[in-house]
Structure 1
Amino acid sequence: MDKYLKSSQKSMKAYVHIFILAIVAFSVLIFLNFYALFKSSRNNIIDSQQNDVEQSAIKTNEILSDSTKSIEITSYTINKMMLNGASSAEIHAYLVEQTDIYKNAIGMNYTGLYGVFDGEYLDGSDWVPDDDYIPESRTWYKSAIEADGEVTLISPYLDMETGSMVMSVSRMLSDGKSVISVDAVLDEIQEITKERVPKGEGNYALVLSDDGTVVAHSAQSKVGQSYLNDSGSFGSIVAKKLFETKEKTFVVQYNGVRYMVFSAPIGNDWHALTVMNENSLYGPLKGIYFIFFIVLIFFVGVISAIFIKLTQKRTEAENLNIQLRSVSAIYTTVHMINLNNDTFKEITSTPEISAMLLNGTEHAGDTLKLVMDMKTAEISKKSMETFLDLSTLDERLKVNGTVTQEFLNDNNMWFRARFVAVDYNDDKTLYRVLYMVEAIDDEKRQRDNLQYLSETDRMTGILNRGGGETKIRELIENGRGGMFCLLDADKFKSINDNYGHGVGDQVLIEIANCLKKSFRGNDVVLRLGGDEFAAYAPTVMNEKMGRPIIERFFENINQIQIKELKDRKICVSMGVAFYLSGDTYSFDELYKRADQGTYISKKHEGNYVTFEGKE
């Protein structure tokens, strides 16, 4: 067993201990955080629902107070009128006046003021009762007399015609026998109740009067029912527990399902309630349970993966030499490099390289550079010097565990050098790497030829659309601004029609040759297709710099001579746009700008160019 294998086993034990401690610590931490989150979430849900029902109670109380205030104000005035000897006609006129005022102020849920004054029934909305109507026998009158001058809210009743709950608000006047009253339709309270019902099956919102009558309910059909008289129903269970316990929050059970009830008082012993199925109420907490379960599964998976990985590591160490011998069948040279002590060990190599390394196995970095300097073509030396820098290997191998570099050797043959991460120190820094070199001359030249064919327009020999646009996009993305030219041949279709496609092809070839002669060696010239061509000249940033190139191109176009065309001249229309160093728009936008110029140039005879922004 070599030193590396012993070190691997020692590290394996340390990793096992560290990971077990880490898993235990993280498990405890996750459990404590989960428990705290659970309690906090549960309390927040309860507080939120209780706050909602209390806000609803406040709104409902405000609505009821409107009717109460109207009675207080009106009764005060009528008491004064009666003391001053006002007639029934004057009192009636006042009721009509106040009815109109309150209707405008309170809305259509207000039916109007009415009452009994000195034994006579008067109505502010001019409603005329039947002959057998006896106001003194009505609940609104009796309750007011019993209240002895206090404003009283009469238990609401369901109007069978409208389906709305109606409540009378009454008060006895100072003479002890006259009563002022008003009927209020409670539709607005019904709307408020519907709006606050929580989402979810089995959730309800309602308002109960002091005698258990349902004043408002999120289920409209429940309005008007008397829960205290409806023995055994779900509503009866809720109402009885509400009035028995007087608690804001309590739990009831019905048909095996638990419900949480939130309540808030409304003025004169009414109550706003929210009833929620506990499954719906605590639904968000199910997500926390699920996350906690996933986390536990994750940690179990991590532990399993660690043990599997450690077992695999030992197997990999034992089979390392076998694997390296297999690799040597592909690579011409293979060396193991120890980055800790800057040494190397030959796995396989060519006789020539082996002879160069007879001096020993130390100074791996310097030795690699020496061999590279002797066996690498001048054109590849700079890139290989950077590639062989052992001080940067740790960072370069972090992502994929391997890096490659293609280079020409001193015999002008293509090779590929490769570093592969093999092992790491306890502090996760790179410890050992494989340095391998393989011959790829045939592969490289075939690949380059295929790339050339895929990027070249076969007719003209310049770049095709795919190859040319790719190079231009790369230049733009790298911040290489320049001049983009877009052009096509004028009346090219007539050349094909009158002289044949063979002559048309010759025209395209000549235009391509003019582009190659007119633009610089590092410029990109391409055929887009048909009679359309383009060119991109990096560093040419304005018209002053670009116009000489365009004029040189036009001069070359003028010199085209094709025997079949005789004296007919070839002309092109060109549009030019500039991509400046600070621009961020796309190549497609650059193309569009140049195309606009080409369109304008088409309106002119002969060779013509339109620069961006000019007509």
Structure 2
Amino acid sequence: MIESSGKGFNGRSAANGFRAVHYSEADHLYRNIGLFADTVLFEYSYPDGQMQLSSNARGQLDLEALEHFFVKHRDNAPKAGEIQSFEICLGKMGEPYHWCCCKLCAKWGEDGKQPVSLMGKLQDISKLKKREEQLMLQSTKDGLTGVYNKTAFEYRVEKKMKGGKKGWLCMIDIDNFKEINDSFGHPAGDRILEQIGAVLCQLFPEPDLIGRVGGDEFVVFTSTSDVHQRAKDFLEQVERIVPEEEGRLSASIGIVTCTGMHRDDYQELFSQADRAMYRAKTSGKNRIAFLHNDPWIMT
């Protein structure tokens, strides 16, 4: 709620040609509303475009955005005796905005054809929305690397597969990662995983999908045809993450094809990619095993 002025004002209205705003300081019904700083009571009259607002609305509301909502909502006003409850976003384009929970009822004219006024309350829920976004992010992203966690990655790949999306699933495992943790400590191992995640995000930007499915295991789903070249680029960049005097880092990658057919199953695709990755690892590590149209390609 962002109107900077704290005073009532008169001004032109696109809907009625005139707007009047009155903050109801004297009304005893609103006397204690100031105790609830995030809740504003209102009434909007359609015949004269006048807004009645509880006094704690000063400095909180973008009045133009609020009136635009009233005018737009006229055709969807609650019926007599009905209360509507919903969330709205108030603010001007390019400026900070606020999420509000709105409870709304209406007075209707005698003919019952048009609402005479809207009454209700607005409660600022911006902090709640921000917290919901944080929780949503935590529920889908890996806390260390910032890529999708296993469940979120699987859900998004399955959605693409159900939509008939063709592509490739890459299973990536860091070679000898336990030895790195044992030699340099887990904090060093975590820093390496963070860098691995950053390299993957650079090489496989959206709409490609990247997930972490184990301690040192990552998965990538991409629909671009240069997947093999980008996998090779990844192996080259991984080697540069750990300075030569502190050891050598490498990865093994298994890649399988997603045909986009309805019979494709994510778990089966994941299992094939895992077997391909294991084949790369048992063939000497630091390489790519590519299963495409049945024959194996090892690089």
User: Does TM, scored on the shorter chain, surpass 0.5?
Assistant: yes
Contact residue 172 and residue 218 of structure 2 kept, 8 A: yes
Please state how far the C-alpha of 1:406 moved relative to its aligned partner: 4.0
Within 1, Cα distance between the matches of 2:40 and 2:73?
A: 21
The one-letter amino acid of 1:608's match is I
What TM-score do the two structures reach when normalised by structure 1?
0.33
Compared CA separation, residues 414 and 461, structure 1 to 2 (3 A): same
Please state how far the C-alpha of 1:443 moved relative to its aligned partner: 3.0
Within 1, Cα distance between the matches of 2:121 and 2:243?
A: 57
Within 2, Cα distance between the matches of 1:414 and 1:552?
A: 44
CA deviations on 1:375-430 (whole Å, 9 max, x unpaired) are xxxxxxxxxxxxx85388479xxxx94332346656525322536465899xx999
Please state how far the C-alpha of 1:520 moved relative to its aligned partner: 1.0
Please state how far the C-alpha of 1:469 moved relative to its aligned partner: 4.0
Within 2, Cα distance between the matches of 1:355 and 1:408?
A: 6
CA deviations on 1:5-48 (whole Å, 9 max, x unpaired) are xxxxxxxxxxxxxxxxxxxxxxxxxxxxxxxxxxxxxxxxxxxx
Compared CA separation, residues 353 and 462, structure 1 to 2 (3 A): closer
The one-letter amino acid of 1:561's match is V
1:516 pairs with 2:201: yes
The one-letter amino acid of 1:588's match is Q
Please state how far the C-alpha of 1:533 moved relative to its aligned partner: 0.8
The one of 197, 218, 227 aligned to 1:546: 227
Name the residue aligned to 2:52: 346
Q: Percent identity?
A: 19
The one of 505, 509, 532 aligned to 2:217: 532
Within 1, Cα distance between the matches of 2:172 and 2:76?
A: 49
The one-letter amino acid of 2:238's match is I
- SS state at 1:560 partner: coil
Please state how far the C-alpha of 1:368 moved relative to its aligned partner: 0.7
Contact residue 89 and residue 97 of structure 2 kept, 8 A: no
The one of 250, 253, 258 aligned to 1:570: 250
Within 1, Cα distance between the matches of 2:158 and 2:216?
A: 22
Contact residue 488 and residue 531 of structure 1 kept, 8 A: yes
Please state how far the C-alpha of 1:515 moved relative to its aligned partner: 0.8
Name the residue aligned to 1:52: none
CA deviations on 1:440-461 (whole Å, 9 max, x unpaired) are 3333334433443444434334
Compared CA separation, residues 584 and 342, structure 1 to 2 (3 A): farther
Q: Which has the larger radius of gyration?
A: 1
Q: Which runs of 5 or more residues in structure 2 are unaligned?
A: 1-28
The one-letter amino acid of 2:233's match is R
Name the residue aligned to 1:233: none
1:491 pairs with 2:176: yes
The one of 414, 419, 422 aligned to 2:98: 414
- SS state at 1:511 partner: helix
Within 1, Cα distance between the matches of 2:165 and 2:243?
A: 37
Compared CA separation, residues 356 and 558, structure 1 to 2 (3 A): closer
- Cα RMSD after superposing both structures: 4.8
The one-letter amino acid of 1:578's match is C
Which is helix-richer, 1 or 2?
1
Structure having greater relative contact order (Cα 8 Å, sep ≥ 6):
2
Name the residue aligned to 1:31: none
- SS state at 1:573 partner: strand
- SS state at 1:529 partner: coil
The one-letter amino acid of 1:368's match is H
Compared CA separation, residues 403 and 411, structure 1 to 2 (3 A): same
CA deviations on 1:157-190 (whole Å, 9 max, x unpaired) are xxxxxxxxxxxxxxxxxxxxxxxxxxxxxxxxxx
- SS state at 2:87 partner: strand
Within 2, Cα distance between the matches of 1:584 and 1:336?
A: 57
Contact residue 577 and residue 593 of structure 1 kept, 8 A: no
The one of 561, 586, 599 aligned to 2:242: 561
Please state how far the C-alpha of 1:522 moved relative to its aligned partner: 4.3
The one of 52, 65, 68 aligned to 1:368: 68
1:588 pairs with 2:296: no
What is the 5 A alignment of 1:428-447? 436-447=121-132
Compared CA separation, residues 433 and 503, structure 1 to 2 (3 A): same
Within 1, Cα distance between the matches of 2:53 and 2:259?
A: 53
Count matched residues: 257
Within 2, Cα distance between the matches of 1:612 and 1:342?
A: 71
Compared CA separation, residues 523 and 354, structure 1 to 2 (3 A): closer
Please state how far the C-alpha of 1:556 moved relative to its aligned partner: 1.8
Compared CA separation, residues 393 and 433, structure 1 to 2 (3 A): same
